[in-house]
């Protein structure tokens, strides 16, 4: 009788292995006959390793483990990749100076401890851990190859961070009516803003982005007052939609919709629908910006006062001209979001302070894409990111901007441009603005299309005309002031009335 010899696994030489070779050949290097598993992840182990012996995680000293973020956190302290925790976001994946929020983040980590080779699948939550396992199985089946540039490697350690999009029930296992995308990445996370497969239907959104899906409920953050949904692959499913960052008081809502201050919720099986604003000719909106602290995580006290005053003021929506937190760190975002309780929708022009490092990913998770537009009444609002590449716009951004200005012109609406950095610094002899060539180009377009502007970046209030272009600098939301009080150096927000033309009224806040 011939028997198949049991495979033996030699100790891994991490130092000789090239970057990505260990994770990329994990199934050849680690024995999957026994899997050590946290109690709440046994279903994942049985799904991805159906033939393995499942052992409790507390017995793990070497081999393969599927660990909850709490148990992985205890084992990975001091490693180049680990799990940390935040009072607002919960468990957070850490990788060489970057932190990644959200339960869709997974980690595959191989390292040597006390002479034992260990392979751990973990993440911020069950969906992320499932993503790590799915990614590993795709490697095993030859469907994926590890990108070495995305691998963290140091001495006896190698790891990869991954993200899934599409696990609508957050259970870590792909279902027939889900469409998963699992990607490894270095620092910039993959995002899909405008479509998602839900119950087998391709839900495509315009005028906002899909922030999350939970079962058959689609959460959409509005970036306009005209949100459209189209089902590309209709199957007759009934889905629930929660549209956030909206003002129900000025909207035409579906019959039976629930509504709060800044959200609406309704259920439908329609293949195409939209919710849009009523006809508005006269309205007021409020503008503020640069409310980040001078350092650290705590928002300035004056920002709390500004926020409360705006919540008690009139206005159908708010504009934030950027610089929400000091340096984009997760901890700063967590402190801001704990008190982010505006009672009207807030539309943001991203600032340089938050849109750096890990802050880019957090911004996109919370607020979505940075270039967008909407029309309301006789005005066409255009928001753009001008804080990268030395405060300039890319060629594709210039093309998009001129196209948006032409749309405004063709529909008879006045364009209003909102960016963080102004095209020019209105202070004599100062240059805290866009790159000069880009600033001149923007001014040229604003003159051509008769556009008005709202900007921040300069911590002061200014309203006037430069070279035939009217604009406002509203940078007094709480950051350290850049000018004397009689020159606009005071904390404020701006009340804007569009009853007949644009009427600007600064509101000083002591």
| DSSP state letters, 85-100 | EETTTEEEEEETTEEE
| DSSP state letters, 63-121 | EEEE--HHHHHHHHTTSSEEEEEETTTEEEEEETTEEE-STTEEEEEEEEETTEEEEEE
pLDDT in the model for residue 1: 47
Q: Residue 478: left if φ>0, alpha if ψ -120 to 50, beta else—which one?
A: left
Round to the nearest angstrom and report the end-to-end CA distance of the chain. Answer: 91
pLDDT in the model for residue 322: 98
Residue range 284-508, CATH number: 3.60.21.10
Question: Please, what is the Cα angle at 408 between 476 and 397, to 5 degrees?
Answer: 65
Where the chain has pLDDT below 70, the residues are 1-6
Cα separation, 242 vs 265, in Å, equals 4
To which residue do tokens 């995308």 refer? Answer: 181
CATH entry 3.30.379 includes domain 21-184: yes
Instruction: Using alpha carbons, select from 247, 139, 214 the residue that is nearest to residue 183.
Output: 139
| DSSP state letters, 206-261 | ESEEEEEEETTEEEEEESSSEEEEEESS-----EEEEEES--GGGEE--TT-EE-S
pLDDT in the model for residue 5: 57
**475: Cβ contacts below 8 Å, ≥ 6 apart:** 289, 290, 321, 323, 455, 456, 457, 458, 459, 460, 461, 482
pLDDT in the model for residue 10: 82
Token pair of 493 as six digits: 């927000």
pTM over cut 0.85:
yes
Q: What is the pLDDT of residues 310-331, one digit of tens each?
A: 999 999 999 999 999 999 999 9
Q: How far is CA 194 from each of CA 127, 355, 393, rounded to the nearest angstrom?
A: 21, 21, 23
Token pair of 39 as six digits: 């109690």
Instruction: Using alpha carbons, select from 373, 377, 388 the residue that is nearest to residue 418.
Output: 373
330-338 vs 359-367: helix crossing angle, rounded to 10: 30
Q: How far is CA 103 from each of CA 131, 365, 494, rounded to the nearest angstrom?
A: 10, 12, 38
pLDDT in the model for residue 97: 87
């Amino acid at each position: 009788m011939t028997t198949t010899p049991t495979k033996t696994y030699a100790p891994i030489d991490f130092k000789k292995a090239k970057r990505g070779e260990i994770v990329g050949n994990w199934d050849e290097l680690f024995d999957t006959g026994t899997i050590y598993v946290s109690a709440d992840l046994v279903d994942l182990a049985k799904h991805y390793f159906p033939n393995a012996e499942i052992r409790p995680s507390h017995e793990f000293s070497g081999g393969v483990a599927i660990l909850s973020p709490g148990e992985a956190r205890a084992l990975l302290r001091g490693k180049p990749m680990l799990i940390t925790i935040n009072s607002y976001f919960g468990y957070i994946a850490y990788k060489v100076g970057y932190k990644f929020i959200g339960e869709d983040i997974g980690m595959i980590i191989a390292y040597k401890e006390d002479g034992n080779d260990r392979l751990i699948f973990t993440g911020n939550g069950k969906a992320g851990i499932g993503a790590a396992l799915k990614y590993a199985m795709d490697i095993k089946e030859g469907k994926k190859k590890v990108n070495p540039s995305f691998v963290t490697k140091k001495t006896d350690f190698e790891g990869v961070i991954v993200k899934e999009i599409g696990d609508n029930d957050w259970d870590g296992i792909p279902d027939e009516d889900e469409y998963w995308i699992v990607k490894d990445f270095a620092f910039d996370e993959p995002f899909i803003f405008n479509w998602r497969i839900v119950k087998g239907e391709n839900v495509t959104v315009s005028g906002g982005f899909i922030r999350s899906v939970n079962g058959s409920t689609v959460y959409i953050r509005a970036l306009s007052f005209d949100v459209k949904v189209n089902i590309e692959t209709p199957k007759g499913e009934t889905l629930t939609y929660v549209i956030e960052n909206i003002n129900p008081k000025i909207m035409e809502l579906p019959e039976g919709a629930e509504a709060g201050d800044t959200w609406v919720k309704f259920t439908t099986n329609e293949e195409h629908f939209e919710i849009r604003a009523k006809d508005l000719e006269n309205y007021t909106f409020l503008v503020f910006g640069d409310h980040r602290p001078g350092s650290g995580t705590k928002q300035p006290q004056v920002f709390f006062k500004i926020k409360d005053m705006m919540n008690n003021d009139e206005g159908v929506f708010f504009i934030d001209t950027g610089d929400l937190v000091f340096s984009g760190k997760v901890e700063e975002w967590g402190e801001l979001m704990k008190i982010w309780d505006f009672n009207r929708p807030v539309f943001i022009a991203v600032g340089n302070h938050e849109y750096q490092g890990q802050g880019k990913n957090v911004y996109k998770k919370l607020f979505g894409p940075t270039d967008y537009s909407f029309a309301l009444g006789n005005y066409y609002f255009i928001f753009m990111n001008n804080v990268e590449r030395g405060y300039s716009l890319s060629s594709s951004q210039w093309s998009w901007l001129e196209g948006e200005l032409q749309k405004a012109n063709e529909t008879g609406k006045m364009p209003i441009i909102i960016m963080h950095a102004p095209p020019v610094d209105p202070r004599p002899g100062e240059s805290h603005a866009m790159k000069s060539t880009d600033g001149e180009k923007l001014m040229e377009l604003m003159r051509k299309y008769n556009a008005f502007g709202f900007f921040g970046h300069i911590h002061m209030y200014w309203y006037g005309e430069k070279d035939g272009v009217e604009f406002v600098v509203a940078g007094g939301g709480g950051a350290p002031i850049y000018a004397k009080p009689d020159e606009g150096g005071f904390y404020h927000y701006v009340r804007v009335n569009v009853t007949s033309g644009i009427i600007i009224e600064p509101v000083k806040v002591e």
